[in-house]
């Protein structure tokens, strides 16, 4: 008598019995993120009952906590931070790192508050997202030997790991685009106390200084209300005082939208009479009329990089701090007529 070999179950069989799609089954069996715990558990139970061979779950890493600046989330930069969080969450799930995220006002990020958040989350590592730690917090982090990664941040004293866009060189490249288009008198609208933004100011000033006859003017916005509204008013005032400026590099796209509205309002033709370059390539850049020329920041990639840096810090707690800069890429738009290089 010939025995019938046992049936080999396929992912389609698991999907049918679990009442989900085959693609959902495939993602769960590959340990991919983005599936709810209940659905994941159900699929794994069905797969086990059917005798389907399962991959070993990724080795669990020590848990980590991300504290994100609440003023950045609720203010004009919320879209920027959403990308960072997406990258953090997806890569933490992929690498098996228990991960929690909470909002905190930067001014409230004291050693006591941070310690309480970490203890309640059971976290061993800390991501500071859009937060430049103050002196007291830096001292506590060093004394406690807490693994830290600054996300969209840099530490000038090189005490902590950090990942950010290449702010200096990105700003330099953005300003050179205006210079290469023939502009010499250029405004830079900026604000914020953060080290990353100061690096953009330095890049702007270095680029203007690199060309004969260049003139740079930095306009600092208070950021007390809406960034675009403040930029609109500041641009009108600057051009009323001196109409000779023909271009602006803006610290981000929200600011650039305000500049675009202001110069259009006073009858300047864009880009013929006035050119604008933003930074970050946020959705508002594409929705502007004309589309903003800007510099693209891969925010998801920054978040993923940060998880890898934390894993490295867990493995090598005494290694020197690393500062990783991701390149930013130029994005064309109707606010700048770029000339081909010779």
pLDDT, position 274: 98
Q: What is the pLDDT of residues 78-122, one digit of tens each?
A: 788 989 999 999 999 888 899 999 999 888 999 999 999 999 999
Q: Do 40 and 86 fall within a single domain?
A: no
Q: Do 283 and 177 fall within a single domain?
A: yes
pLDDT, position 290: 97
Q: What is the pLDDT of residues 304-328, one digit of tens each?
A: 999 999 999 999 999 999 999 999 9
Of the candidates 153, 219, 172, 163, the one whose C-alpha atom is nearest the C-alpha of residue 191 is 219
Give the DSSP H/E element, type plus range, for residue 250.
strand 247-250
Q: Do 19 and 68 fall within a single domain?
A: no
Output the average pLDDT for the chain.
Answer: 90
Q: Do 218 and 288 fall within a single domain?
A: yes
Is 260:287 a contact under the CB 8 Å cutoff?
no
Q: Taking 80 as the threshold, does the pLDDT of residue 76 lie above it?
A: no
Q: Do 180 and 276 fall within a single domain?
A: yes
Q: Does residue 4 belong to any structural domain of this protein?
A: no
Q: How many domains does the chain have?
A: 3
pLDDT, position 78: 73
pLDDT, position 48: 82
Q: Does residue 161 belong to any structural domain of this protein?
A: yes
Q: Does residue 224 belong to any structural domain of this protein?
A: yes
3-state secondary structure of 68: strand
- Per the omega criterion (within 30 degrees of 0), is the bond before 312 cis? no
CATH of the domain at 274: 3.40.50.2300
Is 271:334 a contact under the CB 8 Å cutoff?
yes
3-state secondary structure of 216: strand
pLDDT, position 33: 59
Task: Please compute the mean of the pLDDT values over residues 212-218 and round it to a whole number.
Answer: 97
Q: Do 94 and 43 fall within a single domain?
A: no
Q: In angstroms, rounded to a whole number, what is the distance separating the alpha carbons of residues 83 and 66?
A: 14
Q: Does residue 98 belong to any structural domain of this protein?
A: yes
Is the model's pTM score more than 0.85?
no
Q: In angstroms, rounded to a whole number, what is the distance separating the alpha carbons of residues 262 and 270?
A: 11
Domain carrying residue 27? 12-50
Q: Do 218 and 318 fall within a single domain?
A: no
Q: Do 180 and 273 fall within a single domain?
A: yes
Q: Do 98 and 125 fall within a single domain?
A: yes
């Amino acid at each position: 008598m010939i025995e019938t070999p046992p049936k080999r179950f396929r992912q389609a069989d698991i999907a049918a019995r679990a009442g989900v799609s085959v693609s959902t089954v495939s993602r769960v069996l590959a340990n991919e993120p983005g599936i709810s715990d209940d659905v994941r558990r159900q699929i794994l139970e069905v797969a086990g009952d059917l005798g389907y061979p399962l991959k070993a779950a990724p080795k669990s890493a020590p848990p980590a906590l991300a504290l994100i600046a609440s003023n950045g989330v609720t203010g004009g930069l919320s879209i920027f931070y959403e990308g960072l969080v997406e990258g953090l969450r997806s890569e933490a799930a992929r690498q098996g790192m228990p991960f929690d995220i909470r909002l905190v006002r930067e001014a409230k990020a004291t050693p006591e508050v941070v310690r309480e958040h970490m203890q309640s989350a059971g976290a061993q590592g800390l991501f500071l997202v859009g937060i430049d730690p103050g002196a007291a917090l830096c001292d506590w982090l060093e004394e406690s030997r807490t693994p830290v990664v600054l996300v969209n941040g840099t530490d000038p004293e090189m005490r902590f790991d950090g990942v950010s866009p290449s702010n200096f060189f990105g700003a330099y490249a953005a300003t050179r685009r205006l210079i290469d288009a023939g502009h010499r008198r250029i405004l830079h609208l900026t604000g914020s106390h953060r080290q990353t933004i100061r690096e953009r100011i330095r890049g702007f000033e270095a680029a203007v200084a690199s060309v004969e006859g260049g003139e740079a003017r930095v306009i600092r916005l208070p950021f007390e209300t809406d960034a675009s509204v403040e930029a609109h008013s500041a641009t009108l005032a600057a051009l009323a005082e001196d109409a000779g400026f023909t271009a602006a590099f803006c610290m981000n796209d929200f600011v650039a939208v305000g500049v675009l509205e202001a110069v259009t309002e006073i009858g300047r033709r864009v880009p013929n009479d006035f050119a604008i370059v933003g930074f970050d390539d946020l959705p508002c850049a594409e929705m502007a009329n004309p589309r903003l020329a800007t510099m693209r920041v891969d925010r998801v990639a920054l978040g993923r990089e940060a998880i890898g840096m934390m894993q490295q810090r867990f493995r090598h707690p005494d290694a020197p701090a690393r500062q990783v800069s991701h390149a930013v890429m130029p994005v064309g738009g109707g606010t700048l007529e770029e000339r081909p290089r010779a």
